[in-house]
Chains A and B, each alone.
Chain A
Amino acid sequence: MATLPDGQTLPGKLIIVEGIDGSGKSTQLDLLRKWLLAEGYLVAFSEWNSSPIVGDVTRRGKRKELLSPLTFSMIHAADFADRMERQMLPALKAGAIVLADRYMFTAFGRDVARGIDRKYVRMLYSFAIRPTISFYFRVPLQVSLRRILTGRPNLKYYEAGLDLGLSDDPYESFRLFQARILDEYDRMVDEFDLTVIDANRPLLEQQDEVRKIVAPHLTNVLRADPSGWREVLTQEGLHGRYLKDKFRGQETI
């Protein structure tokens, strides 16, 4: 069950994934989503840092390097709150499965790595819905760094943690920053009862484990396609050419 902070349970299921950059969590969540859709479930999806209302401020703050550790923390909490109020909460009340790529634990890792008080950040997010399952994809630092840094990508200022002043070299700064975040995640496993997945294994092995853990929770949740268009197509010999526009991105066709 997903539950509100006051203990009230919501009919939907909230499944979230966490892990440092390069842990493979987004890939795993995407595979889970495709499976759930193929099984006919109605799935809502919410991604970290994607609120249309708050996003402009965050982007501008990052581009112009206006963000301090405190305002960085707060603007991400505002982004999260907007997605919670307008996407996740209504979907969970309606009984849907909600998948979230990163959740408040990302803030607990990054903001504390930036020097914000641990208790303060937890208090900041105390309005958050408690997830049904919180997957933590644990991977050794060297493995994730190899995945991310192969090809020498252009690391952005805040992404590399350059605002912490740990090192002037973006790659070295990124390594130190990620190591701090990893420490914070490891602390959170017991504190928040995270479901740890060993992310240093083959992709499909991990996905099997994820599905086994999710499967028992798939009761009394909304199913997609209540309108029966699939039936119309087969019986009338139509291809649903224009339905593809309508359902774009849902991968149900």
Chain B
Amino acid sequence: MKRQASFYGYNLLADQAKNIPGRLIVLEGPDGVGRSSQIALLREWLENEGYAVATSALKRGKLAGKGLRDAMQGHTLGDTTMNLFYATDFADRLEHEILPALRAGFIVLTDRYIYSIITRALVRGADPYWLRNLFSFALVPDIVFYLEADVHTLSAHVLNSRGFDYWESGMDFLPGRDYYASFVEYQRRIQDQFDAISDDYGFHCIDANRSMHAVFSDLQEQIKHVIADMKPTQPPLPGAGDWRVESSGYGEDSRAEGGYAEGPGQAGGQGYAEETSAGEAPSGE
């Protein structure tokens, strides 16, 4: 059975999405909420279960990732230019990373999607109508998680890693030079925008003020439903896959037939997932 893609508006990429057996899972949320850690954990878990997994993240596309990061380093980008730069990078990753992986039956985990780009543009005063149209060529994901945490949790995480970021603290447009005050205000505004678009885009909210393990368990529970009728491309590792017994869809039947899903994952072996997710690393010149 063919899985048809659906898009938010313009079907500019419909030809590339006629049959996408994979699943697109999006983790959204502010700076410091722990998205990348959760993606690393989910990826390992799903691979242990025998699924082929690819990942993708903002500003990591082959075409425009480096150019966008360089331009942001210089702090000279105008708002509209930056939105279009982000859109270019996103379109490139959708066409060259996400859609090919979905066509090949991968589970694609993306660290942020169009929603972060939209909210960061909205707080800077962009035209909401234009923005939604601009990104309406985007594929509708199978599920979107929005990780929420209060600003104290966020700032603790940010300080524990690489410190406050110029753009993620809104230093480009908020008054004052105080990074912490600016970060707090910026994250408050971002959160308001996320809340405002949450229903439209059907976010699944996850309370990320809790332990990493509690968040991970929540994500696992919901993802199990998303992949319930999907067959792994490899047999699960010993000890993995116990949860599947009580879930619907997958089970003894398909295993008895001796069939895991056909696809490149089968032929390419374990290494396949690693290759296709090269977009995760900064692209070299």
- Report the Cα distance A135→B58, complex, angstroms: 40
Look across to chain A and name the residue whose beta carbon is closest to the beta carbon of B84: A78
Is A71 within 8 A of B71, CB to CB? no
A interface residues (Cβ-Cβ under 8 A, vs B): 51, 53-54, 56-57, 60-61, 66-68, 70-71, 74-75, 77-78, 81-82, 84-86, 116-117, 119-120, 123-124, 126-127
Is B88 within 8 A of A74, CB to CB? yes
Secondary structure at the B interface, as helix, strand, loop or mixed, is: helix
Which B residues between 21 and 42 are near A, CB-CB below 8 angstroms?
none
CB distance from B257 to the nearest CB of A (A): 39
- Report the Cα distance A81→B86, complex, angstroms: 13
Complex A-B: 20 CB contacts under 8 Å = A53-B81, A54-B81, A54-B85, A56-B67, A57-B68, A66-B63, A71-B91, A75-B84, A77-B84, A78-B84, A78-B87, A81-B80, A81-B84, A84-B80, A86-B76, A116-B12, A117-B12, A119-B10, A124-B134, A127-B127
Is B12 within 8 A of A127, CB to CB? no
Contacts of B137 in A (CB 8 A): 70, 120
Is B81 within 8 A of A67, CB to CB? no
Is B223 an interface position by the 8 A CB rule?
A: no
Partner of B64, one of A51, A71, A124: A71
Which B residues between 81 and 115 are near A, CB-CB below 8 angstroms?
81, 83-85, 87-88, 91-92, 95-96
- Report the Cα distance A54→B89, complex, angstroms: 12
Partner of B80, one of A61, A68, A85, A119: A85
Is B74 an interface position by the 8 A CB rule?
A: yes
- Report the Cα distance A120→B9, complex, angstroms: 10
CB distance from B117 to the nearest CB of A (A): 12
Contacts of A85 in B (CB 8 A): 78-81
Partner of A82, one of B63, B78, B87, B130: B78
Total A-B contacts with CB atoms under 8 angstroms apart:
89
Contacts of B12 in A (CB 8 A): 70, 116-117, 120
Look across to chain B and name the residue whose beta carbon is closest to the beta carbon of A5: B127
Look across to chain B and name the residue whose beta carbon is closest to the beta carbon of A58: B67
1/0 per position for B51-82, CB-CB distance to A under 8 A? 00000000000111011101100101111110
Do A123 and B81 contact each other (CB < 8 Å), given the known contacts A57-B88, A71-B95, A117-B12? no
Is A120 within 8 A of B10, CB to CB? yes
Partner of A123, one of B76, B83, B85, B130: B130
Look across to chain B and name the residue whose beta carbon is closest to the beta carbon of A82: B81
Contacts of A120 in B (CB 8 A): 10, 12, 133, 137
Contacts of B130 in A (CB 8 A): 123, 126-127
Is B81 within 8 A of A71, CB to CB? no
1/0 per position for B124-168, CB-CB distance to A under 8 A? 000100100110010000000000000000000000000000000
| Residue among B70, B88, B92 having the largest count of chain A Cβ atoms under 10 Å | B88
Look across to chain B and name the residue whose beta carbon is closest to the beta carbon of A67: B63
Is B13 an interface position by the 8 A CB rule?
A: yes
Contacts of A67 in B (CB 8 A): 63
- Report the Cα distance A68→B88, complex, angstroms: 10
Is B71 within 8 A of A53, CB to CB? yes
- Report the Cα distance A117→B133, complex, angstroms: 12
- Report the Cα distance A178→B23, complex, angstroms: 40
Is A74 within 8 A of B87, CB to CB? yes
- Report the Cα distance A74→B80, complex, angstroms: 12
CB distance from B78 to the nearest CB of A (A): 3
- Report the Cα distance A74→B86, complex, angstroms: 9
Partner of A57, one of B64, B76, B91: B64
- Report the Cα distance A123→B88, complex, angstroms: 15
- Report the Cα distance A74→B63, complex, angstroms: 12
- Report the Cα distance A126→B131, complex, angstroms: 11
Contacts of B127 in A (CB 8 A): 127
- Report the Cα distance A54→B12, complex, angstroms: 23
* Interface pairs A-B: 5 shortest CB-CB: A85-B78, A57-B67, A78-B84, A74-B88, A81-B80
- Report the Cα distance A123→B83, complex, angstroms: 14
Contacts of A117 in B (CB 8 A): 10, 12
Contacts of B63 in A (CB 8 A): 57, 60-61, 66-67, 71, 75
Look across to chain A and name the residue whose beta carbon is closest to the beta carbon of B80: A81
Contacts of A68 in B (CB 8 A): 91-92, 95-96
CB distance from B127 to the nearest CB of A (A): 7
Contacts of A123 in B (CB 8 A): 130, 133-134
Partner of B92, one of A54, A71, A81, A119: A71
Look across to chain B and name the residue whose beta carbon is closest to the beta carbon of A84: B80
- Report the Cα distance A61→B84, complex, angstroms: 16
- Report the Cα distance A86→B76, complex, angstroms: 9
| Residue among A51, A57, A82, A116 having the largest count of chain B Cβ atoms under 10 Å | A57
Do A75 and B64 contact each other (CB < 8 Å), given the known contacts A70-B12, A70-B95, A117-B10? yes
